[in-house]
Structures are given as C-alpha cells and as structure tokens.
Structure 1
Amino acid sequence: MNNRNVYDIEVSDYKGFTYKLEAFKGKVILVVNTATECIYSEQLKQLETLFQKYKDRGLVVLSFPNNNFDNRQPGSNEEILKISREKFGVTFPVLAKISVNGDDEHPLFTHLKHEQPGIFGSPIKWNFTKFIIDRQGNVVNRYLPMDDPQDMSAKIEVLLQEA
C-alpha cells in the first residue's frame, strides 16, 4: 500500500456505484469518517459551511459513514444519506458505510493512516477524524475528532492557492 496513489483507490457511493478517487484529481479533498449519532455530528454542519465556502475554488468534502465506534452510525446507506441531508443540511458526497479500522478497514483509510499516522499512532480513535489531501494527491494533514472544521480554513486556503 505504501506506494499506492490515492487516486487509484476505489470508493462506493450510497447506492453502491464504485469509482476511483481519480474523479477528484486536481481538487483539495477533505475526507472525514462520520457518524450521525455521534457527539461530534454537529460538525457535519460546519463541514457543509466549509464546502459551500470553497467548493467553487476546488474543495470537495467526502463523508465516509462508519460504525466502528460505539454503534454511532446505525442504518442503511440510504437512511444515513437522508439524515445527513435533512438533519444536517449536507450537500457534499456521502459515501457508503465503511470500516476505518481492523481487518475489514477500507483501503482509503489504510492509506490515509499510513501517510498521516497521528499523534498517538495510526488507528482512527473516534468519529470525525479528518484528513486533507492536496491537489497532487498527497495526504498533508490529519485532524482529531474534536478539531473544529473551521480551524482548517487557513490550511485549505493555502492548498487551494497552490497549482
């Protein structure tokens, strides 16, 4: 996995349609493992604010629902999408529910954790761990669940200005 390019990794949308992250090549990508019943779920609104502010300049936010932590994301992909849209106002892509740790973890999160191991080791510790991927596909930052999405604005601004 070490030499794998992030753009070669396949993801699935809530309907099961699979595509490569290459679809977002040239964009700044904010990847977040989400859960709509988590203490941090209000961050979905803040992530939407970031998305609206920067989407025309090349930011994409990708929500990856997961149920790895204390059963905070029950429901089907369709139910998760509906809650994300109706309760939190999310318009950015909400992908299929995945696992972010363990034997069945999604290859994207294996790659993200390898590139940005985190302060206390590579495993994702809770929902709303956030990763920023620059326009060239480099994983440049990892943020903790409690980190406010608005505090990422300065870093996003810098990355959006880079060619």
Structure 2
Amino acid sequence: MSNPEDYKQAGSIYEFTANNINGEIVSLEKYRGHVCIIVNVASQCGYAKNHYAELVELFDQYSESKGLKILAFPCNQFAGEEPGDSAQICQFVQTKNVKFDVFEKVNVNGNDAHPLWKYLKHKQGGTLGDFIKWNFTKFIVDKNGQPVERHGPNKTPKDLVNNLEKYW
C-alpha cells in the first residue's frame, strides 16, 4: 500500500510497507501472527535512555517466548530530537544493543506522515486529537494486525507488560 489516501480503507497493518533503516522495502505482512509494539523514537529525546533500555529488555524477554515484535520508527518532528541520518541512527541503536526492527526516519504527523502512522492514528485516536504528541508514543498491535491500544511516552515499555499479556 503506497497511496496515503488509502489508509482509512486498510484492514490491518499488513497492507503497508516501510523502508527499514538500510533502505530496503519491508512488507508488514512479515509480522502476521505476532503481537507488535510500533513506536516513534528519537535518540536525543529525554525519554530515549529509559525507553530504549526497556524496549530492548522487553524484546529480549518476549521475542522468543511470546513472539513479540518491536518496530521502531525514528522521527524528527518533535524538537528536532532525531536529527541524524540512517547511518547515525544505526550507530546509535547499536550502542543500545537494539535487536528489534528499526526503520528509516518518517514523519508521524501532517500530510506527509507515513501511511502506516496515519492508519495507526485513525484506528487509535489520541485524547486531545489523533496527532502524535511526542516521541515514544507506542501502539500495541494484536496478532491480527489490528491496533488495539495507544500509549504516550509517560507509560514506559515495561509498564506495557500487563497490556501485552491480553493479546498473547
């Protein structure tokens, strides 16, 4: 799915593609049957240290046993806190021991937001509006590719364990 106008018609995240951090097109079909956390990340955000550490911990703990997948989308729309290019982002995530999937930098708000993010916001609107308010907004997607929960940066990844257990 590449037409940004089609996101409202999508039946699941599996209809979307995104470029991974190396620029390769990835069909989100590869996540079929897995519970996923989709998160917008920023290396220079104040939340980065704690959230990256906890995302790594969740992935290490649940990727094998429960099939958890984490999809991280760098975004520079909030206070310019992800200014780097793909190579710099790769270097940063390596220092954090990230083994989950990292994608190319995207916009999560506005007309040029990535279609996946338009879909996520359409399915799980925010409290004050559908827009993403800050870095490290997390969407839980069930095994059928349906966005079932949305959590802001004030809810840490480890705080999501009880929520995730409902979908395993």
Q: Matched residues in 1 for 2:21 and 2:167: separation?
A: 28
- Counterpart among 83, 86, 90 of residue 77 in structure 1: 86
Task: Tell me whether 2-11 or 28-37 shows the greater mean CA deviation.
Answer: 2-11
1:106 — aligned with what?
Answer: 114
Q: Matched residues in 1 for 2:155 and 2:116: separation?
A: 21
Q: Matched residues in 2 for 1:93 and 1:138: separation?
A: 19
Q: Matched residues in 2 for 1:149 and 1:139: separation?
A: 16
Q: Matched residues in 1 for 2:30 and 2:156: separation?
A: 27
Structure 1: stretches of 5+ with no match in the other structure: none
How many residue pairs get aligned? The number is: 159
| RMSD of aligned Cα (Å) | 0.9
- Deviation string 1:74-120 (CA, Å, 9 cap, x unpaired) is 1111210110111x221111110110001210001000000000111
How does the TM-score come out when normalised to structure 2? 0.92
* Secondary structure of 2:113's aligned partner: coil
Structure 2: stretches of 5+ with no match in the other structure: 1-6
Q: Matched residues in 1 for 2:102 and 2:130: separation?
A: 24
Q: Which amino acid aligns with 2:23?
A: G
Q: Matched residues in 2 for 1:99 and 1:71: separation?
A: 12
Q: Matched residues in 1 for 2:56 and 2:26: separation?
A: 23
How does the TM-score come out when normalised to structure 1? 0.95
User: Deviation above 2 Å: which 4+ runs of structure 1?
Assistant: none
Give the percent of matched residue pairs that are identical in Structure 1 and Structure 2: 37
1:53 — aligned with what?
Answer: 61
* 2:17 paired with 1:10: yes
2:143 — aligned with what?
Answer: 135
2:3 — aligned with what?
Answer: none
Q: Matched residues in 2 for 1:143 and 1:121: separation?
A: 13
